[in-house]
Structure 1
Amino acid sequence: MVDGTGGAVWGRAEQQAFRSRVRGCLLGGAIGDALGAGIEFDSLAAVRERHGAQGVTDYVPAYGRRGAVTDDTQMTLFTVDGLIRAHVRRDTGAWHPPTDVHAAYRRWAATQRDWGPDERKHEDGWLAREEWLYSRRAPGNACLSGLADDRMGTLERPKNPESKGCGTVMRSAPFGLLVGWEPQLVFQLAVECAAQTHGHPTGYLSAGAFAVIVHAVTRGDSLDGAVQQALAQLAVHPGHDETTDALRRALGAVRQGMPDAERVESLGEGWVAEEALAMGVYCALVAEDVRHGLLLAVNHGGDSDSTGSVCGNLLGALHGETALPPHWVVELEGRATILQLADDFAMEMTQGSALHTPATPAAAPGWLQRYPRA
């Protein structure tokens, strides 16, 4: 099915199953994000006082509407855009995905300062022209400052070297959807792209671990097995202790009794990368179904949208789009854009050779307008 670079020959059933997981991952993450958006800065006591003993059980208004997403979903979508553009640009002989992802993040950063897409250039592609994305949804300072100029942060010279905020983890699920890649390459790419905004080892290694977990479940592994794969990848990287300990605590919490908000809060608040990762993973591990897992992931006194996003990415990749509660899918902001991008990603990964090759660069000119090589 895969050849190590994403250029595999896929059967029809495999393509359909993969597309369902991609859709599930992106929609699930966005739903978790939207469920947490309205309570992101509230304590658990305040959430219960306002919404009842169970906390939120449905979307609550945020940013002027129900089902609104935050910077977590915005940046995740631009990660997908960057990965598609990287695969398209490979036809030119240029192959450096971190550069393409960085360019995509810079396009996201423009949506945080520009009024709208009127001034976007053709080479920016279609996603940067989606007007609904031009809205500030409490973006992290490290994400904004890390992308404020055109210098790309690297592992040797990262941006914000002391920052390990969860802005690395919440945008990194798409790296795990590169199922044609080997796990160590998925890990490395996620790490390199995280260092573009967050230079603390825990920040970028947590992103790598999350990508490997998504990668494993998308390829059909169990979630517990996926976490073990991430731990194995982490073990060979200096500075992994905080991320490793957080994941081990998440695994340990599964065995400590019935899941509840207090047990989720025992893993942290989610504002930093390893805590958001551990909390999202724990909620996915103990989830009775998608609804149960997502509500558990957002009802706490920390970074509810980010932990909800991480949990939703995992459950969606694990079970596919049809497992998502339809009433949440229907009200989700940007659903059409998310589905279009998910389907484009799945098409590029499974049928990219029919859309563009070095020998026939204009095989699908509409595709190259959507994802220019520039």
Structure 2
Amino acid sequence: MSLATLDRQRGCLMGLAVGDALGAAVEFQPPGSFKLVEDYRDGGPHRLAPGEWTDDTSMALALADSIGEAGWDLNDQATRYLQWFREGKYSVTGSCFDIGIATREALARFESSYDAQSSGSREIRSSGNGSIMRLAPVPIHFLNLFPDNIAKLADRAAESSLPTHGSPLCVDACRYMALILAGLMQGIDRDVVLSPDWKPLAELRSQQELAPEIAEIAEGSFRQLSPPQIVGSGYVVKSMEAALWAFHDAGDFREAVLKAVNLGNDSDTTGAICSQFAGAFWGESGIPHSWRTGLAKPEMLEEALSSILS
């Protein structure tokens, strides 16, 4: 592994946490109702300190921990999500203070069934962004599958959604996002990776066609829209569209992530998704130094990186 590739792998996960922490203070606030985010700030619905992160990062840490300790085991992943939910493990504050409705319901089902393959709702109405917000550990760990085994990479990404989000839209969003992240981490140019004509995308779609809503994003819908059509929504389709809109033409990591979080509403998650793309492209070295050093509990992030990079 080259140092440049490692920098982009680290950037993908560290970026997730940075975007999450930047958006936390304005979560649930509509665009235009708050002073634009330019740096970490305290407050928000969870009254966090500057640099503290939310459920997006906590679930990514749980996923990374599972991959590092148990290999690939969906029941183990769901068990660690439960440890976060019930006990506050992986939380920046030591307690679970933020959890999506679909995730809460899915983990309750898992407690009863111990079957993570079926605990996430398959219903379209449950197509939230909770599985793409935490996805980074999957393409980071399985980066060696790209480009020679795209099918397995996509399968791992799809499976990672099932414990909490079984909707076809969520599953296909994970498949597409993992492919994009892998391409970026391997150093492929952003415009190439986001092109609807990219060869690996054609291969992904030949194995199993994407849901129409996700296929539209892959065709470049985010390039044609702007706010208020672009929104910081909890709906997986609009969430990914917003993240790619913020990322696709930004000049640097800072510009991309601030465009994302300043959409408001589900700002922490829009930021977390966008900054996975941005971190995978510009690398950890492209994240502003003050944002990297200002993150809370850096040792937890380093432990997660050790788990998935080993």
TM bucket (normalised to shorter chain) is 0.7 to 0.9
Structure 2 counterpart of 1:135: 95
1:257-309: CA deviation from partner (whole Å, max 9, x where unpaired): xxxxxx24423332111221121122111111111111001111331111111
> Which residue identity is paired with 2:99?
P
1:198-213 equivalent positions in 2, closer than 5 A: 198-213=165-180
Aligned-pair CA distance for 1:66: 0.7
Partners of 1:187 and 1:113 in 2: CA distance: 30
Is residue 284 of structure 2 the alignment partner of residue 342 of structure 1?
no
Give me the whole-angstrom Cα distance separating, in 1, the residues matched to 2:6 and 2:287.
14
Does the alignment pair 1:42 with 2:34?
no
Unaligned residue ranges in structure 2 (runs of 5+): none
CA pair 247-305 structure 1, distance change in 2 beyond 3 A: farther
1:106 alignment partner in structure 2: 79
Counterparts in 2 of 1:241-260, with a 5 A limit?
241-253=212-224
Q: How far apart, in 2, do the equivalents of 1:18 and 1:343 lie?
A: 15
Amino acid at match of 1:143: T
- CA offset at residue 57 of structure 1? 0.9
In structure 2, C-alpha distance between the alignment counterparts of 1:190 and 1:264, rounded to whole Å: 29
Q: Pick from 170, 187, 192: which aligns with 1:225?
A: 192
Shift of residue 78, structure 1, vs aligned partner: 1.4
After TM superposition, the structure 1 = structure 2 runs for residues 256-295 of structure 1, keeping only pairs within 5 Å, are 263-295=226-258
| Distance apart, 1:332 and its partner CA | 0.9
Counterpart for residue 353 of structure 1: none
Residue 29 (1) aligns with residue 29 (2): no
Taking the TM superposition and a 5 Å limit, the aligned residue runs for 1:176-215 are 176-177=139-140, 178-181=142-145, 182-215=149-182
Amino acid at match of 2:294: E
| Distance in 2 (alpha carbons) for counterparts of 1:188 and 1:267 | 29
Amino acid across the alignment from 1:206? A
More displaced 10-residue stretch of structure 1: 241-250 or 29-38 = 241-250
Aligned-residue offset at 1:252: 2.7
- 1:24 maps to amino acid: G
Q: Judging changes above 3 Å, is the alpha-carbon distance between structure 1 residues 241 and 216 closer, same or farther for their aligned structure 2 residues?
A: same
Check 1:70–1:265 CA distance in 2 against 1; reply closer, same or farther (3 A cut): farther
1: CA distance, partners of 2:252 / 2:132: 23
In 1, Cα distance between equivalents of 2:106 and 2:287: 34
Q: CA RMSD in A?
A: 2.2
The partner residue of 2:62 within 57, 68, 78 is: 78
- Specify the alignment match of 2:53 in structure 1: 69
Distance 1:64 1:239, change over 3 A: closer
- Tell me which amino acid in the other structure corresponds to 2:232: E
How far the C-alpha of 1:35 sits from its partner, in A, is 0.8
* Deviation of the 1:329 alpha carbon: 1.4
Aligned positions of 1:356-367 closer than 5 A: none
Q: Using the TM superposition, give the Cα deviation of residue 243 of structure 1 relative to its aligned residue in structure 2, in angstroms.
A: 1.0
Secondary structure in 1 matching 2:32: helix
In structure 1, the partner of 2:39 is: 58
* 1:238 CA displacement: 5.3
Q: What is the distance in 1 between the residues matched to 2:16 and 2:228?
A: 20
Larger radius of gyration: 1
1:237 paired residue number: 208
Equivalent position amino acid for 2:143 in 1: V
User: Which of 163, 172, 175 lines up with 2:138 in the alignment?
Assistant: 175
Structure 2 CA distance for partners of 1:136 and 1:213, relative to 1, 3 Å: same
Give the drift of 1:17.
Answer: 2.9
Residue aligned with 1:171, SS: coil
SS of residue paired to 1:337: helix
Deviation of 1:134 after TM superposition, in Å, equals: 2.8
The equivalent residue for 1:299 is 262
Partner of 1:144: 104
Per the normalisation by structure 2, the TM-score is 0.86
> 1:166 touches 1:272 (CA, 8 Å); kept in 2?
yes
Q: Contact 1:250–1:279 at 8 Å: present in 2 too?
A: no
Distance change (3 Å), C-alpha of 1:105 and 1:223? farther
Question: Structure 1-normalised TM-score?
Answer: 0.72
